[in-house]
Amino acid sequence: MIPTMSVDADVSEIADALSLEGVVVVTGLLDETRRDAVRSELAPHMAKSQVLDQDDPGDFFPSKTRRLSALVTHSDSIGELILDPHTQELCDRILLPNGEYGHQLHITVALEVGPGARQQILHRDHESFSFFPDPKPNIVLAAMWAITDFRADNGATLVVPGSHTWQKERKPEESEIYPAEMPAGSVMFWLGGTLHGAGANVSNEWRYGIALGYSVGWVRQEENIYLDVPPERAAELSPALRKAIGYTTYRALGFSVRQNVGLA
Ligand SMILES: O=C(O)CCC(=O)C(=O)O
Ligand SMILES: [Fe+2]
C-alpha cells in the first residue's frame, strides 16, 4: 500500500511514512488556480515536445508521452513548487543527514502520458550513483505533482513500496506494484531507491505530472541546471530560489567569481 496523508498531517508523520515505505502521497498541496498557472506557462514549450507514435520497448521513455525539462526557465510559478515548505522539510529530514551543508534541485520535468502509452520500465532515480552498493544511502528525493488526477487507468505512477531497502537483484511480484492514485493537487514523494515508473495509459485522457527531484548538495545534478537556467535567467529569480536550484556553494564546492553566486 502507498501511505496517503492530507496536507494537514504532521510533517514528521509524513517523513516517517516516506522513510519506512519509500513513498508517500500528500493530498491538497496545490489548488486549481495554481495548477492552471503552471500548466499554462509551460504549455507553449510543452507543445514543442515531440510525441513519438512508434514505441521502442527498450526506450526508457514510452511513445505517446510528452516531456519538458528546464522548467525554471520556462515558468515563473514553478518556483513556488520547488520551494514548497513540505518538500523542503522532507528534504531537510531525509537528505541533510547525508549532506549536512545543504540539498539542491536535481531535476525538473513535466511529464504527460497519453492514451495508449505503455508502462515505463520500473527504475530507481538514483541509479547514476553506482559507486554506492545497494541499498544506497538517501541521495535523492523526488516529488510528483499531480496536475491532473492520477488514476490506475490513465498512467498513474507505479510504485513498489519498501523497495528502497531491497538488494538490486530482487524483482517485484505483480502484487507488490501499486499505482499512485491521487487527485489533482496531490504530491507523491519517493526516495531515490524506490522502484517506480509511469503506468500504462488505457484511458482516453492525458495524465499530467510535474516531477521535481532533489539531491544532496555534493553530487552532480541530473539536469545541467547551469546551462538550462543560465545566469541571465538566474538573476531574475528570488535569492531563495536561485540558491535552491544550485547557485550556491556546498563548503568548497561550486564557488564562482559571481560572488559565490549571488550573481553580482
Ligand atoms: O511519469 C511518471 O509517472 C514517472 C516518470 C519517471 O519516473 C521518470 O521519468 O524518471
Ligand atoms: Fe523516475
* pLDDT recorded at residue 260: 63
- Any ligand 1 atom below 6 A from CB of 111: yes
CATH of the domain at 201: 2.60.120.620
* pLDDT recorded at residue 33: 98
Cis peptide before 135 (omega within 30 of 0): yes
Q: How far is CA 154 from the centre of its chain?
A: 19
Amino acid code (one letter) for 128 = S
Asked whether the predicted pLDDT for residue 80 surpasses 90, the reply is yes
Q: What span, in angstroms and rounded, lies between the C-alpha atoms of 232 and 220?
A: 21
Report the DSSP beta bridge partners of residue 214.
Answer: 105, 141
pLDDT digits (tens, 9 = 90+) for 175-224: 999 999 999 999 999 999 999 999 999 999 999 999 999 999 999 999 99
The parent domain of residue 191 ranges over 4-261
pLDDT digits (tens, 9 = 90+) for 223-254: 999 999 999 999 999 999 999 999 999 999 99
Q: All 3 cell numbers of residue 251?
A: 563548503
Region at 116 (left for phi over 0; alpha for psi -120 to 50; beta for the rest) = left
> How many residues belong to the chain?
264
- Closest residue by CA, ligand 1 atom 10: 125
- Any ligand 1 atom below 6 A from CB of 196: yes
Distance 263 CA to ligand 2 centre (A): 32
- Any ligand 1 atom below 6 A from CB of 108: no
Q: What span, in angstroms and rounded, lies between the C-alpha atoms of 113 and 198?
A: 8
| Total of domains in the chain | 1
- Any ligand 1 atom below 6 A from CB of 67: no
- Any ligand 1 atom below 6 A from CB of 154: no
- Any ligand 1 atom below 6 A from CB of 179: no
Mean per-residue pLDDT, 57-69: 90
* pLDDT recorded at residue 57: 87
Strand residues in the chain grouped as ranges (E): 4-6, 23-27, 65-69, 103-113, 140-146, 158-159, 178-179, 187-191, 196-197, 207-216
CA angle at residue 184 from 110 to 39, to 5 degrees? 40
pLDDT digits (tens, 9 = 90+) for 12-62: 999 999 999 999 999 999 999 999 999 999 999 999 998 888 888 888 888
Ligand 1 atom at minimal distance to the Cα of residue 125: 10
Asked whether the predicted pLDDT for residue 115 surpasses 80, the reply is yes
Ligand 1 atom at minimal distance to the Cα of residue 60: 9
171 Cβ contact partners less than 8 Å away, ≥ 6 residues apart: none
* pLDDT recorded at residue 55: 83
pLDDT digits (tens, 9 = 90+) for 140-179: 999 999 999 999 999 999 999 999 999 999 999 999 999 9
* pLDDT recorded at residue 242: 96
Mean per-residue pLDDT, 107-136: 96
Model-level pTM?
A: 0.97
Q: What span, in angstroms and rounded, lies between the C-alpha atoms of 256 and 214?
A: 22
Distance 124 CA to ligand 1 centre (A): 10
Asked whether the predicted pLDDT for residue 94 surpasses 70, the reply is yes
- Any ligand 1 atom below 6 A from CB of 177: no
Please report which confidence band the pLDDT of residue 117 belongs to, taking 50, 70 and 90 as the band edges: very high
Assess contact for 79 and 72: CB atoms under 8 A. Answer: yes
- Closest residue by CA, ligand 1 atom 6: 197
Distance 189 CA to ligand 1 centre (A): 12
At 255, give phi and psi (nearest 5°): -70, 160
